[in-house]
Amino acid sequence: MNRFALVVLAMLLCPQAQAEALHFVTEEFAPFNESQDGVVAGPGGEIARSICAALALDCSFESLPLRRAIEMVETGRADAVFSLAHTPERDATMRFTQPFIRSGYALFTRKDQNHSAANLQDFAGFTVAAYGPSGTYSNLAALQQTVPSLQLVQELTFEAPFRMLLEGRYPEPAAVFANWHVGLLWLKSHGIDGIAVAFPDKPIDYCYAFSRRSAAAQRQFARFDAALGAMRSNGALLAILAKFDFAESDLPGDR
């Protein structure tokens, strides 16, 4: 057994006088996490529950609007939030685990636009909408460094950009920037066939982010992160992802 495996095993078996409580928050973000009969379901919640059981932690889960969930973690009123992308500006208030799932951003257009894109420059002059404030919108704003002529629109819900694109309510040509897993699921669940992925952008990894203001979160962060790494190594992580129709290609890359 190598040194890393011994360290992980010691963390997992470390006895505690009393099970420590951790409160996890997240948002409705299918297919990564969504509430079913009042219970936070999806791979993000199931992976966390598996780790909590292994570490003998008393974990609770709550689904909230994302901005409220992040604010609770930043102020220490919740211990951790998922599924969250790591951004440098979040490091001041949260500690990020290694990622547990990989997805990606994409630019969606209406099929009747017949827009064929080989690279981002093919979207020069486009109006591009995204949900925000969010990590998605921050990444869209970063695309302006590559394509300065993009005209950005920020909408307050995930659904609004797709509905407005479908109805032709943005100046043409127009596109939506969104997580491609979430976007494709939303389009399918609403029976919308008139919008499709026009260009897949960079991958995005989702993590658990632990509060720097919570003493319990600080005590348990390293143990949780090590257990997550062990799940990746022994195949347990992929097994949970497969239950929710994710593939091996959806495993995150190296940390």
Q: What share of the chain is helix, strand, coil (3-state, %, to 5)?
A: 40, 30, 35
pLDDT tens column, 88-132: 999 999 999 999 999 999 999 999 988 889 999 999 999 999 998
State the total domains in the chain.
Answer: 2
Contact indicator for 181, 245 with CB cutoff of 8 Å: no
Contact 79, 73 (CB under 8 A): yes
pLDDT per residue over 144-158, tens digit each? 999 999 999 999 998
In a domain, 255, yes or no: no
Q: Is the pLDDT of residue 243 over 90?
A: yes
131 and 9 part of one domain: no
Range of the domain at 229: 3-101+205-250
Res. 221: pLDDT tops 60 = yes
Of 166, 182, 203, the residue at which a domain comes to its end is: 203
CATH number at residue 65: 3.40.190.10
> Which tokens sit at 116?
């064929």
Q: Is 149 exposed, middle or buried (0-12, 13-18, 19+ CB in 10 A)?
A: exposed
For 6-38, the pLDDT digits (tens) are 545 555 555 545 789 999 999 998 999 989 888
Residue 86 lies in a domain: yes
122 shares a domain with 77: no
Same domain, 24 and 69: yes
